[in-house]
Each structure stands twice: as structure tokens, then as C-alpha cells.
Amino acid sequence: MSASDKTGHGMSFTRLLVPTYIQMLGRLSAWLEKAQAQRPDDAEALLSARLAPDMFPLATQIRFACRQAQEAVFRLKGEAFPESSNILLEEGRNAGDHPGSIADAQARIAETIDLLNALSATALDIEPETAIAHALPAGITFDLTTEQFARDWALPQFYFHVMTAYAILRAGGTELGKTDYVAHMLPYVRPGTMPGA
């Protein structure tokens, strides 16, 4: 029985998180493709670009977005992080000196999407009040319920890194617009309501 069935209020962390992560990682991949198409000679340089001197570069933002999605999966399944996820985290931390290539970044996105696609329809559905001790490398530990973890950490942290990546690409000259961000919404458009339709 899923958390949705047991609680009676429709909470499914799988249905909330997994499609969100997949569609936004897909967007991130598409933005990188646009950057390469628009700047074939110097797109790789964007991986070292930052919004501010004390912020992580694009290469890190991509890896941290992937790590956030993976983190939610393993936290909610109650599993230890596999070595591949720990390597991803270290790559992100060191990307200022070793940004890698866009192909490397795309591979990390694809690996994360594959992980998400392999989950069952109820893989992350545990009771919303289940306690999670969410420890950070700096020594801080957050005591959260599963619902608080999903709402207050898993989604906001993921979007922070995705949107920072978007902003770095825009600031670096990649032509992106709101449609690039919300392309997953286009199937929901009511016929005849698109401007110019």
C-alpha cells in the first residue's frame, strides 16, 4: 500500500518528485544543446562561468542539480548513497578547477534521468510523517518529516541549481526564453489560446 493510499490525502512523493526532476533535467540538457549550437567555438567556456565570484560555476550547478535529484531518491528509499552519487558530488565541488566538457555534463544528466526512469510508480511513497535526519557536509543536521524534506528541501534545492544554470547560460549569451524553461507545459495549452495561433 502506498503512502497515498494509507494517508488518504493523495500524497505521492514519486508522482511529485520524479516527473519534476525528469522534465527539468530534460530542459537543462536542452539548454546546453542550445548553447553548443549557438556558440560552437566557445560553449565549453560557459562551464566555468559564474553569476558571482563566490558562487559555483555552471559545471557545478549541473552536477548539483543531478545530485539533488539522486539525493531525494536515496533518502526516501532509505538507502545509502552509491559511490557513483558520491563521485558526482565531488565532481561538483571540484568543477571550478576541473569543469569537464559539455558532453560530460550531458552524461551526468542522462545518468540521473535513467535512474529516475527506472523507479517504480511507488518507489518513493512512504508515510509523510516519517522522520528523516538530513545531514549536510558542514555538520548541520535537519530533523524533518518526509513531507517537509520533499517540500522544503528536495524541490527548492533542485530548482535553485537548475535556475542558476539557466541564469549563467543567459548571462553568458545563450538565447533562452521562458518557453525554453516551461516547454513541458506546452502539451497543456488549450487549443487556440497560444499567441499567434
Torsion of CA 147, 151, 152, 157, to 10 degrees: 130
Q: What confidence tens digit (pLDDT) does each residue in 125-148 have?
A: 999 999 999 888 788 999 999 999
Beta-carbon contacts of residue 26 (< 8 Å; ≥ 6 apart): 113, 184
Contact 9, 127 (CB under 8 A): no
Contact 122, 12 (CB under 8 A): yes
Residue 194's pLDDT is: 83
Q: What confidence tens digit (pLDDT) does each residue in 20-47 have?
A: 999 999 999 999 999 999 999 999 999 9
Q: What confidence tens digit (pLDDT) does each residue in 92-113 have?
A: 999 999 999 999 999 999 999 9
Termini Cα distance of the chain = 45
